[in-house]
Each structure stands twice: as structure tokens, then as C-alpha cells.
Amino acid sequence: MPIIEVNLGDLERLTGTTLTVDKLQEIIFSTKCEIDSVSEDTIFIEVSADRPDLFSAEGIARLIRTLHLGKSSIYKIKDGETTLTVDSSVKDVRPFIACAIVRDLSLDEESFKQIMQLQEKLHITYCRNRSKASIGVYDMDTLTPPFKYVALSPDQISFKPLGYSTEMTAEEILQTTEKGMEYAHLLEDKPRYPLLLDSRNIVLSMPPIINSEDTKVTVDTTDVFIDVTGIHWKTVNKMLSIMAVNISERGKGEIERVKIILPENKSIYTPVTNEKAFKISIDYIRKMLGIDIDEKFVEEKLRAHGFTVKSISENELLITPPFYRVDFLHPIDFVEEVAIIYGYNNLSPIPPKVFTFGSLTDETVLSEKVKDIMIGLGFQEICSFTFTNRDILFKKTLRLEEEVVEVEKPISLEYTVLRDRLFPILLDFVSKNAHAELPQKIFEVGDVVKVDLKYETKAKNFRHICAMITDDTLSFEAIQAPLFALMKALNLKVSLRPLTKPYFIEGRAAEVLVDKEHVGETGEVNPEVLLNFGIRTPVAFFEVNLTTLLPKVKKKFPYIFYGR
């Protein structure tokens, strides 16, 4: 989860109350946040990933005022006269933009630092390192509306990038500046680059790369212009809402919408604040929390926290969350909010009506037994993520592409799918530990996920064991011996059958059979695969499906499941 840095004195100024570190911890803990560390007056807070509105001191202060002091946080939003025209040229580059203005700010070094922190934390998380959206903040006094958002060929772009004193072309910015080199891949192969200009053709920024030095915000800035550009409208609008609301905490809490004129002769004022409303039954809240909570209490407290609440029947409310919150997707999220407001410490524990004993599943018992055996054979256990990517699973291992469970909106290119095998993960582990002393003997007992449309989730988990050895010299027998020792310890008779797979050396691989049923495979790894992973020493492994093996072990070796 993101860790933010706040100053205790700054929080006290924003909340108008005296705070201690212990009191702050008590307040924020109920919202899944906690203090990570403290250095004099600087506090490092680990913030829940689903609360980006808390990614700066302004959000934490708002939380303290509403949750601890009982003060409402109401923001005035009005449609302004400032306009921005979107040119059709941005459609295939970075099509969406939303803007707002916040005036009458009183900034100092700490508040300036918090604005920059909020911007960067949003960039790293919800904006996916600027690929999905990117944020710009500018000194309004250096600008002359109306604005325009266009895409120009690189040779038409020249301005002074933030932090530099000389003008540069677009290509110079991408090749020589720190931010340009870091984010150049986002404009790779684009014939045009997006550009934000004012009426004098002064450059505000070249999204998503860098802002202009001429329009930068300083501690003397009183009015700011905020823009968010991107490829996903909902993210663009929500990031603008969070930036505008939190920055307005440094002023009068007033936000001025900007009129966005679209290419199709339509217009929209941003930020758009018409959030989805949810119908919530009071009985549903009572049932989920196990308390007889009063409907009037729910209405009053939610309104104080910025929610719009309407009573639509005797037992039902229509609730709209604040426009800057992103964590309301289901009625249960509102139940959680009520629980936070009510106070978890005020909920009385109730003994369960049915008394039961917990126990380990058969699969877990077998897994623990297998781990003990492998450690006894001199192997070291590793634990890795179930998430991985197609490069590791298929491209580097030369496996044919198969259907795997994919992450719909991955936050990182490293974790886009769920693994369907363990051996690619162990190969990746070996490649990252090439400096370690040889021989390396590692194993992992973990879940793999296979697509299976028969199940409600369209997928099924299997428990696998994979053991791997790497050394200067290696033979098939080096991995066969621990495989046979494991099977013997489980009272199973194993046999091998020749196997041809692209990731194995031809003639040095075999299927693992128990009772003539395929349960796994073993062999020496193809040198081409090793080169793909950057491994310079021979590798051999076996991988066995423990889920398939379980009924056989229960039949041949039932004693390990007794007394668990």
C-alpha cells in the first residue's frame, strides 16, 4: 500500500486541533490506514490503496475533521467561464482531458510538498505510471485562457521543460530530460504528441511527459489550473476530482469547473460530479453489522461525511458517495462506512451460535508433509506470487501459448496473469540468484490456476510441487533421485515414460506416472530456455500435481491424515 509523508504541525493547522501520534493512529486505523514510522514531526502513513483521496495531508485532515471532530466537509463547486477546446488530433494519442481551477490559495513549503506528493502517488497507482492518466498543475497567473488541447508532430514542439532554463524540442525532451527518458515509451511510435496551450500558444505541458518551466507552481501561487489527460475517462475525471478537492483544502474549499469543448460540437463541465446512487436498506445495514442502528443516525452521519442521502421509503435510503471517493462499488461498501463512523470499538462481540473445531484440509496436510520431506532431502523452500506474466510462462520457456486466467486491469506489466505452472517461476527465481553459491536446490509447494469453464469462477486451483537443481555439472539422475525419494516417502510407486517438450532437452525428459496416471514431469531444461532467462548453468526440475496425487496418498499412506 502507498506510504505518504505528512507533517504533524501541518495536520494541526488543517484540522484546527491538537494531535498526538497515538491519537492520529487511533483515528486513521479504522479506515485501514496505519502509521508506518515517525521521524521528529514527520509521520509516514501507510494508506489503504482504495482511498486515493487520503494520499496527502489534506485528505488525512479531512478524515480527522469528519471522523474525530464531527465537522462536515462541504465543497463549493461552480461552473466557471474558462474554456478548453479539444482538437480532433488527440483522438488517437490521448483522447480525454478534464480541467478545473482552484483560487485563493495560501501555500507554503509544506503545502506545496503535499500537492506534489498527491500528484506523484496518484501517478504511480491509479494512473499506472501515467499510462492511463497524467496530472498537471499550473500557476493560473502565468496563463491566458481560453486553452486548447492538440496533438502536433514532434518537429512543431519546442518549449522550456520543468526544471530547465533553455528551450528544447520534443525529441530533445524525450532523450535528455529525466522524465522524458522515463516516460518516452508512452509516446513511442506516435506520429503526434499531445500538447496543452493557452491563447498565446504558451505551452503548459506535453502530457504525459513533463510540464513547462514557465507555468510552474510556487509557494507564491494563489490560483492553480489543474488538468488530467488520459486514455480512460473515468480515471481522468476521478483523478481531477481528488486533486481539486485536496488542493482546495489550502484555500476556501471552492472549485471552479472548466468548460471542455469537444470536437463533435459538444461540451462538458469538469470535474463531473454526478456519482452513481445506491439504494440501501436500513435492515441490510443492521443485519450486516449485527446492531439495531437508528436510521436517523445513519442519515445524519453520512451527510456529515459528504454523502448525499435521501429517504425513499420507510426502510430504504438512496445514498450517493462524495464525488472524490472511488471505493464504493457495492452496498456492502456503505455498510463498512457506517461501521467506521459508528466505531468498530463500539461493536459488541457476539459468541457464535454453533461451536465448531477447525482443522487443516487434506491438501494442506499433504503439502506440509511434502515440504518436510523436501527439506530433509536438502532442498530450500521458496514462496512466490501466484501472479506473473505471459513472457515468463510461455515466451521464455518456449511453451505453446495456452488459455490462462488474466487480470482485467493489471497495475503492473509484471503481474498480468495467474500462473498455470510452477517451473517458469522457479527458473525466474534462479535467474535472479545467479550470484548464489552452487549447487542451488530449491522447491515450492503452491497453487497454480487452470481455466475450467465448468466452475462458477471459470477456473480451478491445483496444488503443485516443483523442485529444481542448478549446478556446474548436472545429469537427469540428479533430479530423478529426489523425485523417487519423495514418492517412496509417500508410499507411492512411480514410473517414468519418455516425454518430448520444447523446454526440455530431447531424450532427457519423462512423464511422472503413479498407477499409470500422469501426475507430473521431470527432466533437464533446454539450453535455449536457460539463455532466455539469463541462466549460465545446467538446470533440471520435476513438477508434480499434488491435487491429483492426494487420493492416491490417502489410499496408500492414510496415517499422515490422522489427528490433524
Per-residue pLDDT of the chain (564 residues; tens, 9 = 90+): 789 999 999 999 999 999 999 999 999 998 889 999 999 889 999 999 899 999 999 999 999 999 888 888 788 999 999 999 999 999 999 999 999 999 999 999 999 999 999 999 999 999 999 999 999 999 999 999 999 999 999 999 999 999 999 999 999 999 999 999 999 999 998 999 999 999 999 999 999 999 999 999 999 999 999 999 999 999 999 999 999 999 999 998 899 999 999 998 899 999 999 888 999 999 999 999 999 998 999 998 999 888 999 999 888 999 999 999 999 989 999 999 999 999 888 888 888 788 888 888 899 999 999 999 999 999 999 999 999 999 999 999 999 999 999 988 787 788 899 999 999 999 999 999 988 889 999 999 999 999 988 888 889 999 999 999 999 999 999 999 999 999 999 999 999 999 999 999 999 999 999 999 999 999 999 999 999 999 999 999 999 999 999 999 988 777 777 655
**What pTM did the predictor assign?**
0.69
- The DSSP H or E segment spanning 284 is helix 282-289
Closest alpha carbon to 494 in 479, 480, 513: 513
Strand arrangement of the beta sheet that strand 3-7 belongs to = 3-7, 42-46, 34-39
Q: Please name every residue paired with 16 in a beta bridge, in sequence order, or none if there are none.
A: none
Q: Do domains 3-67 and 362-560 have the same CATH topology?
A: no
Closest alpha carbon to 97 in 185, 179, 195: 195
**Separation in Å, CA 207 to CA 136, 167, 349, 542:** 8, 17, 52, 49
Query: Cβ(564)–Cβ(367) under 8 Å?
Result: no
In this structure, what DSSP letter does residue 394 have? I
Q: Classify residue 258 as exposed, middle or buried by CB count within 10 Å of its CB (0-12, 13-18, 19+).
A: buried
The topology (CATH level 3) of 278-346 is Phenylalanyl-tRNA Synthetase; Chain B, domain 1 (3.30.56)
Q: Please name every residue paired with 169 in a beta bridge, in sequence order, or none if there are none.
A: 158
Domain boundaries, the chain: 3-67, 76-270, 278-346, 362-560
**286: Cβ contacts below 8 Å, ≥ 6 apart:** 292, 293
Cα–Cα dist 485/478, whole Å? 12
CATH ID of 76-270, from 3.50.40.10, 1.50.10.10, 1.20.1640.10, 3.30.70.980: 3.50.40.10
Closest alpha carbon to 132 in 211, 50, 229, 260: 229
The class of domain 362-560 in CATH terms is: alpha beta
**158: Cβ contacts below 8 Å, ≥ 6 apart:** 167, 168, 169, 170
CATH ID of 3-67, from 3.30.56.10, 3.40.50.620, 3.30.300.130, 3.40.640.10: 3.30.56.10
